[in-house]
Amino acid sequence: MTKSSLFACFLLSPIFFGSSLLAQDIPDIEELMTAEELRATGVDGLSNAEKRALNAWLQRFRDGEISAAIEEAVAEAPVSTDTGARVIRTEPEDVYPPPRESQEILSRIAGEFNGWEGRTRFTLENGQVWEQRRSSRWKVSLQSPEVRLYQNFLGAWEMEVVAEDRAIGVRRIR
């Protein structure tokens, strides 16, 4: 099996097996929104059952976007004159929708930085405070490292320690 055939199988797998393979690390609505946004939208007032239902709907919506993009790429793929089969492009940007226009924040962590562990909070020199939203650990000792905050393709925020090329999922606290 060639590399392009393997890649095509990978891209088509969500159509046959569901897109949960691509969506395993999708954060809940509470991780995507700040405390202020949760209050403003009323999500903070929902019961646990209502939040679970909302997160399930959001998951189905995201799965549909990914599956629809894959199905569209397959439908638009040219037909090979040799075999009559569809030729699937292997560039990932042909399969996934273009990224949303997102914000990017460049700043520095205020003072000494020792990495992250669990729910670490990061105070930036610009006054913003962000909290780790994924449970992982990374030990390092840096003084006021430059960080870049950006939204991933799902809209969740990531913080990259620029000099170390390491990133972690975060949510804004203030």
Residues 79 and 110 placed together within one structural domain of the fold: no
Give the end of a domain, one of 48, 66, 94.
94
For each of the chain's 174 residues, which pLDDT tens digit applies? 444 444 444 445 544 444 444 444 567 788 788 888 888 888 888 888 888 878 777 777 776 666 666 666 666 666 666 666 655 555 544 444 444 555 789 999 999 999 999 889 999 999 999 999 888 899 999 999 999 999 887 888 899 999 998 999 999 988
Residues 89 and 108 placed together within one structural domain of the fold: no
Give the end of a domain, one of 46, 73, 94.
94
Distance CA 55, CA 80 (A): 41
Establish if 35 belongs to a structural domain. yes
Residues 77 and 114 placed together within one structural domain of the fold: no
3-class DSSP assignment, residue 133: coil
Residues 80 and 120 placed together within one structural domain of the fold: no
How many domains are there within the chain?
2
pLDDT of residue 5: 46
Give the end of a domain, one of 68, 94, 120.
94
Helix 48-76 with 3-17: angle, nearest 10 deg: 140
Establish if 99 belongs to a structural domain. no
Distance CA 17, CA 143 (A): 46
Residues 89 and 121 placed together within one structural domain of the fold: no
How far is CA 6 from each of CA 12, 41, 93, 171, rounded to the nearest angstrom?
10, 43, 17, 36
* Domain region containing 116: 104-172
